[in-house]
Amino acid sequence: MKFLKNAPRFLFFTGKGGVGKTSIACAAALAMTRAGERVLLVSTDPASNVGQVFGVSIGNTPTPLADVPGLTALEIDPEQAAEAYRERVIGPVRGLIPEDEIASMTEQLSGSCTTEIASFNEFTALLTDETIISGFDHVLFDTAPTGHTIRLLQLPGSWTEFLNAGKGDASCLGPLSGLEKQRGVYAGAVEALADPERTRMVLVTRAQHSALTEIARTHTDLAEIGLGNQYVVINGVLPYPGDADPLAKAIYAREQAELAQLPAQLRNLPIEEIELKPVNMVGIKALQTLFSSQPAPTPPATTTQEAVPRAPLAALVDELAKDGHGLIMCMGKGGVGKTTIASAIAVALAQRGHPVHLTTTDPAAHLTETLDGSLVNLRVSRIDPVEATRRYQERVLATKGAALDEQGRAGLVEDLKSPCNEEVAVFQAFSRVIHEASRHFVVVDTAPTGHTLLLLDATGSYHREISRQLGEGTHFTTPLMRLRNPEETKVLLVTLAETTPRLEAEELQEDLERAGIRPWAWVINNSLAAARPRSPLLQQRAGAEINEINMISEAHRRYAIVPMQPGDPVGIDTLAGLTRGQSAPSLR
3-state secondary structure 9-69: CEEEEECCCCCCHHHHHHHHHHHHHHCCCCEEEEECCCCCCHHHHHCCCCCCCCEECCCCC
Range with top average pLDDT, 92-96, 219-223, 470-474: 219-223
Q: Which of 306, 314, 305, 308 is CA-nearest to residue 582?
A: 314
Average pLDDT of span 46-58: 73
Q: What share of the chain is helix, strand, coil (3-state, %, to 5)?
A: 50, 15, 35
User: According to the model, what pLDDT value does residue 173 have?
Assistant: 45
Using alpha carbons, list the distances in angstroms from residue 206 to 42, 296, 338, 475: 23, 19, 17, 50
Distance between CA 127 and CA 301 in Å, rounded? 47
Out of 21, 167, 277, 338, the active site residue is 21
Out of 14, 23, 43, 449, the active site residue is 23
Average pLDDT of span 179-205: 80
- 554 CB-contact burial (10 Å; exposed 0-12 / middle 13-18 / buried 19+): exposed
Distance between CA 539 and CA 433 in Å, rounded? 43
Distance between CA 289 and CA 28 in Å, rounded? 11
Q: What percent of the chain has pLDDT over 90?
A: 36
User: According to the model, what pLDDT value does residue 221 have?
Assistant: 83
Out of 500, 527, 535, 553, the active site residue is 500
Cβ atoms 526, 562 nearer than 8 A: yes
CB atoms near residue 324 (< 10 Å): 12
Please give the distance of CA 287 from its chain centroid, rounded to a whole number.
24
pLDDT top residue among 333 and 398: 398
Enter the DSSP assignment of 493: E
Out of 14, 15, 22, 495, the active site residue is 22
Task: Evaluate if residue 138 carries a pLDDT over 90.
Answer: yes
Average pLDDT of span 496-513: 86
32-41, 95-104, 242-251: least confident range: 95-104
Domains of the chain: 7-290 (3.40.50.300), 307-578 (3.40.50.300)
Task: Evaluate if residue 13 carries a pLDDT over 50.
Answer: yes
Cβ atoms 568, 258 nearer than 8 A: no
Give the contacts of 489 (CB within 8 A, at least 6 positions apart). Answer: 326, 327, 328, 329, 437, 482, 483, 517
Out of 43, 45, 115, 401, the active site residue is 45
Helix (H, G, I), strand (E, B) or coil at 438: coil
Cβ atoms 523, 343 nearer than 8 A: no
> Is 22 among the residues known to form the active site?
yes
Average pLDDT of span 211-218: 86
User: According to the model, what pLDDT value does residue 588 have?
Assistant: 32
Distance between CA 170 and CA 162 in Å, rounded? 11
Distance between CA 502 and CA 524 in Å, rounded? 9
Q: Does the predicted TM-score (pTM) go above 0.85?
A: no
Out of 14, 16, 17, 18, the active site residue is 18
Range with top average pLDDT, 152-156, 169-173, 284-288, 314-318: 314-318
Amino acid at 254: R
Average pLDDT of span 409-438: 76
Helix (H, G, I), strand (E, B) or coil at 517: coil
> Is 14 among the residues known to form the active site?
no
> Is 370 among the residues known to form the active site?
no
> Is 104 among the residues known to form the active site?
no
Helical axes 536-555 vs 499-514, angle rounded to 10°: 20
Secondary structure in 3-state letters for 290-354: HCCCCCCCCCCCCCCHHHCCCCCHHHHHHHHHHCCCEEEEEECCCCCCHHHHHHHHHHHHHHCCC
> Is 245 among the residues known to form the active site?
no
